[in-house]
Each structure stands twice: as structure tokens, then as C-alpha cells.
Amino acid sequence: MKKLVLFSCFLFAMQSMQAQKTITISKNVLKDKIKGGWAGQTIGVTFGGPYEFRFQGTFIGDYQPLVWNDSLVKHNMIDNAGLYDDLYMDLTFVDVFEKYGLNAPVDSFANAFANAGYMLWHANQAGRYNILNGIKAPQSGAWQNNPHADCIDYQIESDFAGLMSPAMPNAASAISDKIGHIMNYGDGWYGGIYVGAMYALAFTSSDINYVVNNALEAVPKQSEFYQCIHDVIEWHKKYPTDWKQTWLGVQQKWANDIGCPDGVFAPFNIDAKVNAAYVTMGLLYGGGDFTKSMEIATRCGQDADCNPSTVGGILGAVLGYDKIPAYWKKSLAQAEDIDFKYTTMSLNDVYEIGYKHALQNIERNGGKVNADNVVIKVQQPVAVKFEKSFNGQYPVAMAPVKWNTAKDELSFDFDGIGFVIKGDASQWDSKSTYVFDTELYLDGKLIETPKLPVSFTTRRYDLAWKYQLPKGKHSVRMKILNPSMDNSVRAFEAIIYSDKPVDGIQANMNAAKQ
């Protein structure tokens, strides 16, 4: 009994020591790493920009050169500012922290994001529509209200959470719990958790394997996101010099999207876990080399600008700004005083503001800020709560739908447990403020009255959807209540869901019966 008591006391002491472990970082090093993180993101997204979604379901061959020159960042900042959407999305949240402090409520972030002037896509746009139409966070990101819940969106916007949480991955996760659920859920949210944790750990270690492996502990092991990244780590051990073998493994096992309507039955893939796999591949196979790592992440294809942006940001934090190769910083130097579009912040501004927020967050989490250094209470990553999007929902068929212009309605029948109608009312360059009023009927009962804005920034990304229906035959009818001579609503097709998957031949037979 005495030995048991002594052993329990020993365990408690060890746990207490672990809980109280601290590291001391000079302010100069801290600032250099934060600066490197923001700079690396900007370099990475610029580098990968020309290849974004041009390679879907294939990688970029070795024979194809990836271009770079000393004026590329400045040119894009001025003439192609939309390329930096993952940066100015980050800065929306940074600005809220700056205005309202680290305890700013989730509504402050949601409203700033929803009412910003920039265009959005996928989970971001679906989340924005929900916020503008009365569905608050976290329900705005939940998959029942957001068919894009597992898309990459928060993953590419979560850099700020890690950069303001040096050596504190759980503090980064707490920030991401609040903000990431505005637009994402489940694997889509875990992408941001994982990226935030990698940034946080980049302040404590230059060992890329350590950063990649330990950050994954912030993600629940039962999630597909965890399993996918774990596979990448294991395949890297098996094929340590051949990233294409690992790419093929990801493609074979994980590339079938079931959520995002644009990626179902299509080579397009904006799923968070698949693109996070490409990030992880860039980091592992790049071995800490800034250039090689970004090149691999880009050559993996799909979201080929955001993935090297994440890689560049994490490695920028690992190396620090001063050690990013001069080859890349020459182009950056010409643009560091240019404000990102839709913001009043340049990179030079963000370097200072990001550093300021990190100091505040260190103190908030029990650390100390001294004259020349900071003392940080080190956190070991703890898995966040488990969530699963589209649980039990399997896409089995694509049914064509079209408007009956005489009745201003569309209708179709299906056999299954859910559907998504792809389409919208928006026009890219429209200045119209017109909003279509509609009614959605399921099995003869009115279940929703969706509003369909013509404006691209406030549009409803998909016309209508419903999951978790009783298994069986259903009928859907959507009716426009206020038709317009000057505007129109487009409908493309409906994705049909069942409670179990079917093979491709059966899916074709199902579609033919619709």
C-alpha cells in the first residue's frame, strides 16, 4: 500500500512538473518567427497561385517548371489581389482581436466576416449566408446547414490562431473552436486545429517530424482527418524518398468526397483532409527545406496555392523571417508596405500586430513578458472534441433538374435519405440587389422558404438541401414566388444520398431511374 501511495505521489509530481514546464524565448526570436509565419504564407500562396485547381486528380509533372520572379508578389498584390483571400480572411479575425481584445465574442468575428466586401466560396460563403440569414455560429458551420462543412476554408485561415499561440497548441485550438465553427465542422474544422497546432509547435522545435506528429495529437483519433494524416506519416516512413507513392495512397484511399457538392462525382477536391495531406507531404518530404517543401505541396495539385501557403507559413515560423532564403524575400520586400485588399493592413503592419497579440495571449495563458524575453507555459496538444460531418450520408446518384419556366418551379423525385440541389441566382459581375423569394416543399409539405440573392457576395451557394430523411421515396418541389425579367435562377442537378454506398454501376442505374 505504501509503495502504491509513493508511486501515485510520483505520478502527481511528474504531471505537475509537466504542467508547469516553461520555455524562455527572446522577444527578437519570437518576433522573427511570427514575421516568418506571415511572410511564408504570402510567398507560398503567390508561388502556387498559377496552379490553383488546374490539376485535379493528378499531380504536376516534374517536367513542368514552376515560375517565380522578383516582382511576382507586388504584381499580384496590385493586379490580382483576390489571390490573397486566405490572407485577408486571416486579417479579418486579426482585426477583430485588435479592436475588441482577446475576449471578443464569436458574433464579432462572424459579423465582420459575413459583412466584409470580399467574395467567398464553399464553406465560407455558406457560412456567410447563414450568418446573414439568422443562423448563428456554431450552427452556421454545421453540416446540416452547410453542405461545405468539410471543405478547406478554415484550414487556410487558421494560421493566425497558431501564430498568436507560440508553444500553446491548446490555446490555438480554443481560438479555433470559436472562429472555425463559423464556417466549418468535423474534418473541415480539424484542418484548422491541425494547422494551428503545427504553427504553435513551430516555435519550440525545428524538427519537422516532431511538429507534424505532435500537432496531430490535437485531432481526435477516431476522425477521418486524423486517419488520413496518420496514413501520410506512415507512408512517408515506407517511401521516404518518393512523395508520389504517398500521393497515390491518398488518392486511392481518401480522395472520394461525399460532402462538397462540387466535389461529389468529380475530380475536384477541396476537402480539408486531402489538402492537409498535401501540406503534410510537403513538410515531411521537404525535410525543412523551404523551397523543396513548397514545391512538393504545389505539385500535389488541387488547392495548389493554399497548400504551399500553409507549408510556407509553418516553415517560416520554424526558420524565422531572417532565415527564409533571400531568393524568396526579394519579391516579398517590394510588397510589404502594400495593404492587402479589403483591409487597412500591410505585411509590415501584420508583423507588429501579430507580435502584439502573441504577447497578450502568452500572458493570458499564464506566461510572462519581460524586458527582453518571454516565458511561455508550454502546452502538450490535447485532442479536441469529436465531430463527424455527413454521418451515414452517402452520395449514390446525380439527378438532372431544370426549371419549368411556365410555373417558375422545379421538381424531382428520388429514393434515398437526402439531396442537394446545385445552382444559384448569382452573377459574378452583377450589381443588382434583387433577392428571389422561394418555397421548398418535401413530400408536399413546405419545409423552408430560401432567399436567393443575385449578389455574388451574399449568394446562397447551393439552392437547397436536406439530409437525414427517412429512407424511401421522396418528392421535392421548389417554387419562385417573385420571378424577375432581369434576373434568373440556375439549377444544374441534384445529388442524391442514401444510407449506404453503392458501386459505380449501381449508381448509374439509380440515376437512370430518376
Contact 399, 412 (CB under 8 A): yes
| Domains identified in the chain, total number | 2
Residue 14 has a pLDDT of: 39
The CATH code of the domain that includes 418 is 2.60.120
End position of a domain, from candidates 349, 377, 405: 377
The number of CA neighbours under 13 Å toward the Cβ of 367 is: 26
Grid look-up 492537409 returns: 276
Same domain, 220 and 134: yes
- Measure the CA–CA gap between 393 and 85, rounded to whole angstroms: 31
Return mean pLDDT, the chain. 94
Residue 503 has a pLDDT of: 74
End position of a domain, from candidates 316, 347, 377: 377
Residue 6 has a pLDDT of: 41
- Is 452 domain-assigned? yes
Domain of residue 428 covers 394-513
- Is 13 domain-assigned? no
3-state DSSP assignment of residue 119: coil
Phi, psi of 286 (to 5 degrees): -80, -20
3-state DSSP assignment of residue 8: helix
- Is 8 domain-assigned? no
- Measure the CA–CA gap between 458 and 466, rounded to whole angstroms: 21
∠ CA 239-208-66, nearest 5°, is 70
Residue 505 has a pLDDT of: 52
- Is 385 domain-assigned? no
Same domain, 304 and 399: no
Strand pairing of 490-498 and 445-448?
Answer: unpaired
State how far the alpha carbon of 130 is from the alpha carbons of 45, 172, 233, 447, 452, in Å: 28, 25, 36, 17, 12
Residue 442 has a pLDDT of: 98
Contact 410, 478 (CB under 8 A): yes
In what side-by-side order are the strands of the sheet with 368-369? 22-26, 373-377, 368-369
C-alpha cell at 399: 439527378
∠ CA 208-161-75, nearest 5°, is 80
- Is 384 domain-assigned? no
Q: Which of 24, 5, 386, 21 minimizes the C-alpha distance to 193?
A: 386
C-alpha cell at 432: 443588382
Same domain, 334 and 435: no
- Measure the CA–CA gap between 103 and 105, rounded to whole angstroms: 6
Contacts by 500-508 with C-beta closer than 8 Å and gap 24+?
500/394, 501/394, 501/396, 502/394, 502/396, 506/396, 507/396, 507/397
One-letter amino acid identity for 495? Answer: I
- Is 11 domain-assigned? no
- Is 6 domain-assigned? no
Same domain, 84 and 173: yes
Per-residue pLDDT tens over the stretch 185-209: 999 999 999 999 999 999 999 999 9
Same domain, 344 and 401: no
* Nearby residues of 5 by Cβ (< 8 Å), 6 or more positions away: none
Same domain, 270 and 415: no
Same domain, 349 and 428: no
- Measure the CA–CA gap between 195 and 263, rounded to whole angstroms: 23
Query: Along the 514 residues of the chain, how does pLDDT read in single tens digits?
Result: 444 444 444 343 334 434 569 999 999 999 999 999 999 999 999 999 999 999 999 999 999 999 999 999 999 999 999 999 999 999 999 999 999 999 999 999 999 999 999 999 999 999 999 999 999 999 999 999 999 999 999 999 999 999 999 999 999 999 999 999 999 999 999 999 999 999 999 999 999 999 999 999 999 999 999 999 999 999 999 999 999 999 999 999 999 999 999 999 999 999 999 999 999 999 999 999 999 999 999 999 999 999 999 999 999 999 999 999 999 999 999 999 999 999 999 999 999 999 999 999 999 999 999 999 999 999 999 999 999 999 999 999 999 998 998 899 999 999 999 999 999 998 777 778 999 999 999 999 999 999 999 999 999 999 999 999 999 999 999 999 999 999 999 999 999 999 999 876 555 545 445 4
Contact 186, 220 (CB under 8 A): no
Same domain, 115 and 154: yes
- Is 186 domain-assigned? yes
End position of a domain, from candidates 324, 348, 377: 377
Same domain, 408 and 363: no
Same domain, 349 and 404: no
User: What's the burial of 29, exposed, middle or buried (CB within 10 Å: 0-12/13-18/19+)?
Assistant: middle
Contact 416, 502 (CB under 8 A): no
Same domain, 44 and 191: yes
Same domain, 174 and 271: yes
Contact 237, 281 (CB under 8 A): no
> Is the model's pTM score more than 0.85?
yes
Cis-peptide into 501, omega within 30 deg: no
The CATH code of the domain that includes 212 is 1.10.4080.10
User: What's the burial of 337, exposed, middle or buried (CB within 10 Å: 0-12/13-18/19+)?
Assistant: exposed
Q: Which of 200, 144, 120 minimizes the C-alpha distance to 381?
A: 200
3-state DSSP assignment of residue 143: coil
